[in-house]
Amino acid sequence: MLKAEVLVDRDFAIGDTDRRLFGAFVEHLGRCVYGGLFEPGHPQADERGFRRDVMALVKELAPTIMRYPGGNFVSGYDWEDGVGPVENRPKRLDLAWFTTEPNTFGTNEFMDWCRETGIEPMLAVNLGTRGADAARHYLEYCNHPGGTALSDLRRSHGWEQPHGVKFWCLGNEMDGPWQMETKTATEYGRIATETAKMMKWVDPSIELAVCGSSARNMPTFGEWEYTVLDHTFDHVEFISLHTYFNNYAGDTAAFLASPDLMDSFIDEVVAIADAVAARRRSNKRIMLNFDEWNVWYRTRGRGEGRAKPGWPEAPQILEEVYTMEDALTFGGACISLLNHADRVKSACLAQLVNAIAPIMTETGGPAWRQTIFHPFAQMSNLGRGRVLRSQVSSPTYSARYYDPRGSQELYYPMPSVPYVKLATVHNEEDKSLTLFVLNRHLEEQVTLDLDARGFSDLALDHALELRHDDLQTANTKAAPEAVSPVPLDGVQVRGERIQATLKPASWNVIRLKAPV
Is 173 part of the annotated catalytic residue set?
Answer: yes
pLDDT at position 1: 79
Cβ-contact 397, 417 below 8 angstroms: yes
d(CA 68, CA 107): 9
d(CA 301, CA 170): 26
Stretch (H or E) spanning 109: helix 107-117
Residue 377's contacts (CB-CB under 8 Å, 6 or more residues apart) are 60, 61, 62
pLDDT digits (tens, 9 = 90+) for 327-366: 999 999 999 999 999 999 999 999 999 999 999 999 999 9
Cβ-contact 350, 280 below 8 angstroms: no
Q: List phi, psi (to 5°) of 42.
A: -70, 145
* Cα 326 from chain centre: 15
pLDDT at position 303: 40
User: What separation in angstroms does the CA of 202 have from each of 153, 167, 198?
Assistant: 16, 14, 7
Closest CA to 199 of 168, 153, 244: 168
Mean pLDDT of the chain: 97
Q: How far apart are the first and last CA of the chain?
A: 33
Kindly state the DSSP code that residue 306 receives in the 8-state scheme: S
Sequential pLDDT tens for the chain (516 residues): 799 999 999 999 999 999 999 999 999 999 999 999 999 999 999 999 999 999 999 999 999 999 999 999 999 999 999 999 999 999 999 999 999 999 999 999 999 999 999 999 999 999 999 999 999 999 999 999 999 999 999 999 999 999 999 999 999 999 999 999 999 999 999 999 999 999 999 999 999 999 999 999 999 999 999 999 999 999 999 999 999 999 999 999 999 999 999 999 999 999 999 999 999 999 999 999 999 999 999 998 744 457 899 999 999 999 999 999 999 999 999 999 999 999 999 999 999 999 999 999 999 999 999 999 999 999 999 999 999 999 999 999 999 999 998 778 899 999 999 999 999 999 999 999 999 999 999 999 999 999 999 998 999 999 999 999 999 999 999 999 999 999 999 999 999 999 999 999 999 999 999 987
Closest CA to 117 of 41, 208, 23: 23
**Choosing from 27, 194, 292, 320, which is the catalytic residue?**
292
Residue type present at position 37: L
Is 409 part of the annotated catalytic residue set?
Answer: no
Q: List phi, psi (to 5°) of 56.
A: -65, -40
Residue ranges with strand state E in 428-502? 432-439, 446-453, 459-466, 486-487, 492-494, 497-502
SS3 210: strand
pTM (two decimals): 0.97
**Choosing from 39, 173, 237, 465, which is the catalytic residue?**
173
Closest CA to 339 of 104, 16, 33, 80: 16
d(CA 347, CA 47): 31
d(CA 448, CA 10): 19
pLDDT at position 409: 86
